[in-house]
Amino acid sequence: MPAVSTDLEKVLLDAPAIQRRVAELGAQISRDYEGKELVLVGILKGSAVFMADLMRSITLDCSIDFMCVSSYAGRGSTGEVRVLLDLRESAEGKDLLLVEDIVDTGLTLHHLTDLLRTRGPRSVEICCFLDKPDCRKIPVKAKYVGFPIPNEFVVGYGLDYEERYRNLPYVGVLKSGK
């Protein structure tokens, strides 16, 4: 494991704790989706690391797909999502499980789930690695949550600050002023 980045104030979740929790999520998803047409939909870029670990902890036959979206504030607080990369396969009749690194205001996943529900999937659920429930601007409920966390700026395990720190195998709080 690389040395703790000196840019961090503290480590919030170390690599062994993350691996234990991801294994639990994988086991739970494997039980819940038995007999269904599970498609794991990784939302790039933040979910890349979580997606790679989570899919290997799922013991079911499933497929994977990816989307890349950018969220930006629309009029008022509604927000909108711009799709930069769309699913390659049809969502029709599938059990979509959106894999995200973090749910913060909820705007991205609110709009994304609305969009995907128009495409005739059998179900659309969310699995997020981190959840900041105190930051919601719009209600979003993830079926699976790795860790609820307080409102602190975190990086690592896929999460970035100006595209850096995604490759840290743990999650830390960035020092202010970085």
Q: Is 104 a catalytic residue?
A: yes
Is 80 a binding residue for ligand PRP by CB under 6 A? The answer is no
Pairing of strands 38-44, 95-103: parallel
- Here's the x/- map for ligand PRP, 82-121, by CB under 6 A: it reads as ------------------xxxxxxxxx-------------
Q: Among residues 140, 90, 144, which one has the least CA distance to residue 113?
A: 140
Min CB(172)–ligand PRP separation in Å: 16
Helix (H) or strand (E) holding 21: helix 15-32
Q: Is 43 in the site for ligand PRP (CB under 6 A)?
A: yes
- Report the SS3 class of residue 32: helix
**Residue 12 makes contact with ligand PRP by CB under 6 A:** no
Out of 28, 71, 113, 123, point to the residue binding ligand PRP (CB under 6 A). 71
Q: Supply the minimum distance, in Å, between the C-beta of residue 61 and ligand PRP.
A: 27
At 39, is the secondary structure helix, strand, or coil?
strand
Q: How far apart are CA 87 and CA 153, in angstroms?
A: 29
Min dist. Cβ of residue 175 to ligand PRP (A): 19
Determine which helix (DSSP H) or strand (DSSP E) holds 117, and give its type and residue range: helix 107-117
Q: State the catalytic residue, choosing from 95, 101, 104, 131.
A: 104
Mind telling me the catalytic residues? Answer: 104
